[in-house]
Structure 1
């Protein structure tokens, strides 16, 4: 009975070491840091062990090998007599001792494999942080107890790693790919909502998407001329209810400032509106190059007092106008976009209507396309059509890409107004 109790204790000890090994190795640093923030000192101990795991793994291997050897010795002596006695009831041949030993060895090995290896490791894999936090303290005590052996084997291991020019410490960096993988896993199991998934994914586009992809293009900018009549100004305010308007002297190349629509409305209601020249409109205008990313554009607005910015190209020609809302809509999408202003409308399961100014990143996400050809040459789906056709598109022009048909439905002048995208293999 003493020997059987010793075997049970060895199996239990081996199970603890196996769980600690897997638990500490598999614990996620992000989850552990959350636990540390909640006040768990043991979670910090696990992080420290992960940073310098050499001594810990040396201790684990010493302990597991010692337990395996002891288990084999004790188990063979404990079980062989009983196995031999039971087997002797049906067999008394010359190979009785060898068969009894083999059966007892198999039984002990099976017990260790099942209860000291497979089951504890499965538990640790399923609950790595919980396992690691609970076992880290006793594991550190054992490490201190066998420190001379740990230092010997760990030192030899480090010397071999350096000889092979391999790292001796664990280096873990959370990359964009890691975050995307966690997002995909969260979306699949339902812990991450669809809107949250899309919003986090869009944030990664801030450093790649350009403000030219979300700006109001030049031909759609509504501005006031200094010489315009009161009636024409009032009509523009009614037809285009924006908060602010540019004030120009003849064309967009001669911007003189900006004016708030409420200031014009106040003058009209008082009957004192005689023209823009009589108004004290703002002379300050924020200019941004079209090559800025969304992240850089948002940073520019942090210190600016203007509600919008004029976007210019390398030749200082005005190419568009952008607001903070435009840039936010570039990565927040439908969360802040009114249904009537959506750039992508799904008609049915296999077709979509798209505005020509839809950012190509939104098209990729909607159609689940990983990449577009020479993406750096354009920012919108209209630009993609021009790139593919090698000319300005005409109505009904189309191209095929990644199993989708992109067809021009409507033009305004030479600008692509709307496209129909159809999945061909649907």
Structure 2
């Protein structure tokens, strides 16, 4: 063949090799979720892509057989077509020399290899990585045809590879389990690209954390619970309701660990407007309250609220003592943050570049996110910043007590009746942001 004809053959081989490289990356990188969405939209080709992905060894074998055969053929054609031409050019430039033929062979090898690397490998693969699902549905029919033509060869090589993996005890079945880390990484990438707002990122992360956070994260602790006593007279009841305008109140027999139920403020208001007595022992209807253990997760609590058609729950510990109360609104605040309560004081306030003021009841997950920490020591033993300090200090902290961890100093700056109210977190010198 003439030089021109050989060049046409090489160009054809480069194009065919580029197609198989294109197909390999597209079929391997296509995401199952996106393909399922395309199937629901009526694209039958996406179903064929999913079927191929169930047996990745099949299409990888087709691709590799084709690529290797084309690469060998391209080398043969390139050597026959280009080596004499390049050697002749070198002869005209440098005259007769023993190294001319070898140099021509090397130059033809470099030229053909460069053509295959750039146009048959790098460029098609980068394009396929940019639009993997679109590429996959585009090439699935041609790859299916190649599979049918090369089926005996494909089954032989795929069987040999599968058998070797079995002998080595290597698991090759593809798993498409999506974990929280996978979703979190995608959400972080979406936020970085501007597709998601920061508030939307926090909302998505909080949804997943409902399964790990217990009800104590969202509760009103027992010391802050305003309750009505059966022993209270009308004036005492009216004073409590006036000072603390909640929609529901616990009703207790003298003390908080003896809960009778709850009453709704609207019932008390109705009787007050009608100038009727509001004694808890006689006139008012005290309703049964939902009691839950303090180990219940927020996700499980939402299910309890749904089943019982209630929105208030009493939290008890293993000794049947009241830990606090939690409402549906508390869970929504935990889930949606400032979207529900834009005027709620933040639990973590950044004072300057190297320090933060943190509320003692701040969940450790929020602290790790704010300080970019991967983990805290033995964090399964506590749930809040106050718990972290008590665990580290091995005592009830007092003001100015501090611990150091991961380049940060955690100092107690405010105590309220043995409860850690405020913690100052300072980045130690030499630590970068």
Give me the TM-score of the superposition, normalised by structure 1. Answer: 0.92
Q: Which moved more, 1:83-92 or 1:359-368?
A: 83-92
State whether structure 2 residue 248 is matched by structure 1 residue 266. Answer: no
Task: Report the Cα distance in structure 2 between the residues aligned to 1:96 and 1:375, rounded to whole angstroms.
Answer: 72
- The alpha carbon displacement at 1:271 in A equals 1.2
- The alpha carbon displacement at 1:123 in A equals 2.1
State whether structure 2 residue 85 is matched by structure 1 residue 73. Answer: no
**Counterpart for residue 151 of structure 1:** 155
State whether structure 2 residue 127 is matched by structure 1 residue 118. Answer: no
**Counterpart for residue 96 of structure 2:** 92
- The alpha carbon displacement at 1:414 in A equals 2.2
Following superposition of structure 1 onto structure 2, how do residues 309-388 of structure 1 map, counting pairs within 5 Å? 309-388=313-392
Task: Report the Cα distance in structure 2 between the residues aligned to 1:411 and 1:369, rounded to whole angstroms.
Answer: 25
Task: Report the Cα distance in structure 2 between the residues aligned to 1:366 and 1:100, rounded to whole angstroms.
Answer: 63
Q: Match of 1:288, SS?
A: strand
Q: 1:142 to 1:387 in 2, by over 3 A?
A: same
Following superposition of structure 1 onto structure 2, how do residues 194-205 of structure 1 map, counting pairs within 5 Å? 194-205=198-209
State whether structure 2 residue 179 is matched by structure 1 residue 175. Answer: yes
- Conservation of the 8 A alpha-carbon contact between 2:268 and 2:278: no
State whether structure 2 residue 92 is matched by structure 1 residue 50. Answer: no
Q: What per-residue deviation string (whole Å, max 9, x for no partner) do you get for residues 359-399 of structure 1?
A: 22222222222222222222222222222332222233333
Q: What per-residue deviation string (whole Å, max 9, x for no partner) do you get for residues 260-298 of structure 1?
A: 111111211221134222333233111001111212222
Where relative contact order (Cα < 8 A, 6+ residues apart) is larger, the structure is 1
Following superposition of structure 1 onto structure 2, how do residues 292-311 of structure 1 map, counting pairs within 5 Å? 292-311=296-315
Task: Report the Cα distance in structure 1 between the residues aligned to 2:107 and 2:385, rounded to whole angstroms.
Answer: 72
Task: Report the Cα distance in structure 1 between the residues aligned to 2:399 and 2:206, rounded to whole angstroms.
Answer: 31
Q: What per-residue deviation string (whole Å, max 9, x for no partner) do you get for residues 329-350 of structure 1?
A: 2333333234234333333333
Q: Which moved more, 1:336-345 or 1:299-308?
A: 336-345
Following superposition of structure 1 onto structure 2, how do residues 159-238 of structure 1 map, counting pairs within 5 Å? 159-238=163-242
- Conservation of the 8 A alpha-carbon contact between 1:214 and 1:357: no
- The alpha carbon displacement at 1:111 in A equals 1.8
Task: Report the Cα distance in structure 2 between the residues aligned to 1:171 and 1:221, rounded to whole angstroms.
Answer: 48
Task: Report the Cα distance in structure 2 between the residues aligned to 1:119 and 1:274, rounded to whole angstroms.
Answer: 81
Q: What per-residue deviation string (whole Å, max 9, x for no partner) do you get for residues 151-199 of structure 1?
A: 2222222222222222353333222322222233333333332112222
Q: Which moved more, 1:249-258 or 1:220-229?
A: 249-258
Runs of 5+ unmatched residues, structure 2:
none
- Conservation of the 8 A alpha-carbon contact between 1:264 and 1:273: no
**Counterpart for residue 136 of structure 1:** 140
RMSD (CA atoms) = 2.2
Task: Report the Cα distance in structure 2 between the residues aligned to 1:103 and 1:408, rounded to whole angstroms.
Answer: 73
- The alpha carbon displacement at 1:95 in A equals 4.7
Give me the TM-score of the superposition, normalised by structure 2. Answer: 0.91
State whether structure 2 residue 248 is matched by structure 1 residue 256. Answer: no
Q: 1:232 to 1:15 in 2, by over 3 A?
A: same
Runs of 5+ unmatched residues, structure 1:
none
Q: Match of 2:281, SS?
A: helix
Q: 1:344 to 1:337 in 2, by over 3 A?
A: farther
Kindly tell me the number of residue pairs found equivalent between the two proteins.
426
Task: Report the Cα distance in structure 1 between the residues aligned to 2:290 and 2:130, rounded to whole angstroms.
Answer: 55
Q: 1:98 to 1:227 in 2, by over 3 A?
A: closer
- The alpha carbon displacement at 1:94 in A equals 4.7
- Conservation of the 8 A alpha-carbon contact between 1:257 and 1:281: no
- Conservation of the 8 A alpha-carbon contact between 2:280 and 2:286: no
